[in-house]
Copies of this chain bind each other. A is one copy, B any other.
């Protein structure tokens, strides 16, 4: 309480997080062992487990910045009217996913096990609210399409196809508009 917290702990912690992030993005979550992380950091497995309460906790820490951005986006869009919120989420979520695309691919190692990982329950909750905002309504059909749109984008992040960030962004925004934004039937005649 008295002085600032010791800097040593935080320094080691963030070094572990940094190198774990790189290894997860490079080889995937399952394929990265605690020994791999410890070797790159230059410490022992036990040290990694002193700073993080198990391997899932390392992943949660790595994912935290992206998860926070999504949570902020959802909170912000939640105060907009449905159509504006939908548009905000399409561009905002795409931007976040593109920025962290190397990390997104590890989500697929994790999604099947999320039930047993309390660290990720909050992320699941945010994901459900995001889906609803993206859908623009509570219509089950529209909610289904929103989930489909999210799955498509996440899947594109761990596909072997090479794609620039700009191409991925354009693809995602185009796809989400086609899937979710109902074309105004006869609103705009050609100018």
Contacts and interface: CB of A to CB of B under 8 A. Distances in A.
Interface in A4-58: 28, 30-31
Q: How extensive is the interface on chain A, given as a class?
A: 35 or more
Contacts of A183: 183
Most chain B C-beta atoms within 10 Å of own C-beta, residue among A30, A108, A115, A163 = A108
Contacts of A159: 111, 147, 151
A7 to B, nearest CB: 36
Interface string A155-191: 1101111010001001110110011000100000000
Contacts of A148: 152-153, 155-156, 171-172, 175
Contacts of A144: 156, 163, 167, 171
B171 A175 contact: no
Given A147-B159, A151-B159, A175 B179 contact: yes
10 contacts: A28-B113, A30-B112, A31-B113, A144-B163, A145-B175, A148-B156, A149-B152, A152-B155, A178-B178, A183-B183
Given A109-B112, A141-B170, 15 more contacts: A30-B30, A108-B112, A112-B158, A115-B160, A141-B171, A144-B163, A145-B171, A147-B161, A148-B152, A148-B153, A148-B156, A151-B151, A151-B154, A151-B156, A152-B152
